[in-house]
Amino acid sequence: MRSFQLLFWIVFIFIYTLISLGALGNVLRITGYKQKTKIRNIFIISSFTIVMAMILLYVWPGDVRTSNNYSLYFIFNGILIIDFFIKTPLSIFYILGKSFRNKYKRSIISWIGLIISICIFIILLQGTFFGRNRLSVQRVELEFADLPVEFDGYKIMQISDIHLGSFINSKNMLHKVYNQTKFIKPDLIVFTGDLVNNFSYELKGWDQIFRKINKHADSYSILGNHDYGNYSDWENEVEKTDNFQTINDAHHKFGFQLLKNECRLLSIGNDSIYLIGVENWGHPPFPQYAELENAMADVPKNAFKILLSHDPAHWESQINKKQNIALTLSGHSHGLQLGIVKAGIPFSLSYLVRKNWGGLYKSGNSYLYVNTGLGTVGIPWRINMPAELTVITLKRVEVD
């Protein structure tokens, strides 16, 4: 695995260098003679600095998995990807320009590449500084014939994929959630996993805002794939176990009731439904810790059931058409933090790897809702894929 990662970064650095040279050639083609030296020096210094930072962070002296400085990698990844994306069209149009002998036509081609790069830069900048701080409230009404009478109009507020380390100590997003919670007045709050990126130190200073949110209703949570500490190399198993236990404990400190392959009976008057929460289950390499049968051991077969399962792959592979579960709530995908809105319908490239990437899905009498998360992971932006808070209202319908 280590040799594969090293080879990947060597190839990436080689490609990045070629793209940087192409981008430089494009800019120099449309730059006045007096500015060429200055532009060349800026390109060389900035590109060399990024390559050296890339080597120090990802290639040498050690494995990125030993680092716990998430913020540093988070910021650098943003700079690297933005730089890579704006240089790519410049490089492509530099090569296209070489097919023209006429200098005027070459210049036009280069200007087109520059304009496209500027547009991409503006989009990425907007997604980084504004898109990731925007909160979208999605309201969904679901009808069920077997919903107990007392739960007609029952309001569930779902949040997911907070990734506390991605906020770099800014509580702005959670304050927005708190303000919405006061307005929504939910009957139930659920959090569907990934409280942190990897480390328990990310939890410091968040107790108060979470308790303010969770005081408005009974609140339940589950673990996500990032909460187990599997994406880091630890000095020993004790260190990893302590990190995991601290994350588990934080759910309770924050006001959540953490469900780990277990269920809870929710009652209103004489009517009841069951809330089931399982640990993470995903297609490899994601962990498969869910024990759904154990979690449902005490649940009557015909009871109305709501399942919390972090990865929507669990619903697709293990639940849909196999279990009598009315509603499954998931997260995990983030919608790749990048979407395209066409004719008012959002689309994400996440669909290429998972068909259940965001929003509502139905199969027979079973629903799945995939929340695209509050935080970010890997890259600090959300482009046409804002942070999401979901309000699901259950409605009872009479069947003739």
> Which pLDDT tens digit goes with each residue over 5-30?
778 888 999 999 999 999 999 999 99
Q: Tokens for 77?
A: 């990844």
Amino acid at 200: S
Range with lowest mean pLDDT among 54-68, 190-204, 280-294, 305-319: 54-68
Q: CA angle, 59 as apex, 127 and 89 as ends, to 5°?
A: 40
What is the rounded CA–CA span in Å between residue 175 and residue 162? 13
Q: Are 360 and 369 in contact (CB under 8 A)?
A: yes
Enumerate helices (H) and strands (E) in the chain, giving the number of each: 9, 14
Whether residue 299 has pLDDT greater than 80: yes
- Residue 136 has φ and ψ, to the nearest 5°, of -110, 130
What is the rounded CA–CA span in Å between residue 345 and residue 351? 13
Q: Tokens for 323?
A: 């279990």
Q: How much of the chain is in helix, strand and coil states, percent to nearest 5? A: 45, 20, 35
Residue 1's pLDDT band, with cuts at 50, 70 and 90, is very low
Q: Are 19 and 91 in contact (CB under 8 A)?
A: yes
If one compares 7 and 208, the residue with the highest pLDDT of the two is 208
Where do the H-state alpha helices sit in 98-171?
103-129
Q: Is the peptide bond before 61 cis (omega within 30 degrees of 0)?
A: yes
What is the rounded CA–CA span in Å between residue 172 and residue 399? 45
Sign of torsion over alpha carbons 37, 40, 46, 51: negative
Kindly list the domain boundaries of the chain, sorted by start residue. 2-129, 136-396
What is the rounded CA–CA span in Å between residue 315 and residue 166? 27
- 3-class state of residue 191 by DSSP: strand
How distant is the alpha carbon of residue 286 from its chain centre?
A: 15
Q: Tokens for 381?
A: 């932006």
User: Smallest Cα–Cα separation from 226: which of 249, 200, 254?
Assistant: 200
Which residues touch 392 (CB under 8 Å, ≥6 apart)?
140, 141, 142, 155, 156, 157, 158, 327, 329, 369
Average the pLDDT over 218-232 and give the result.
Answer: 96
Q: Are 387 and 174 in contact (CB under 8 A)?
A: no
What is the rounded CA–CA span in Å between residue 377 and residue 162? 9
Average the pLDDT over 95-100 and give the result.
Answer: 92
- Residue 341 has φ and ψ, to the nearest 5°, of -100, 115
User: Smallest Cα–Cα separation from 135: which of 72, 171, 180, 77?
Assistant: 180
Share of the chain above pLDDT 90, in %: 79
Whether residue 4 has pLDDT greater than 60: no
Sort strands 135-144 and 387-396 into parallel, antiparallel or unpaired: parallel
What secondary structure letter does DSSP report for 195? Answer: -
Q: Which fold has domain 136-396?
A: Purple Acid Phosphatase; chain A, domain 2 (3.60.21)
What is the rounded CA–CA span in Å between residue 77 and residue 71? 10
List pLDDT tens digits, range 321-375. 999 999 999 999 999 999 887 666 778 888 888 889 999 999 998 999 999 999 9
Whether residue 301 has pLDDT greater than 50: yes
Q: Are 83 and 10 in contact (CB under 8 A)?
A: no
Q: Are 153 and 191 in contact (CB under 8 A)?
A: no
**HEC states along 41-76?**
HHHHHHHHHHHHHHHHHHHCCCCHHHCCCHHHHHHH
Expressed in angstroms, the distance from the first to the final Cα of the chain is 60
Whether residue 110 has pLDDT greater than 70: yes
Residue 400's pLDDT band, with cuts at 50, 70 and 90, is low
| Total residues found in the chain within this entry | 400
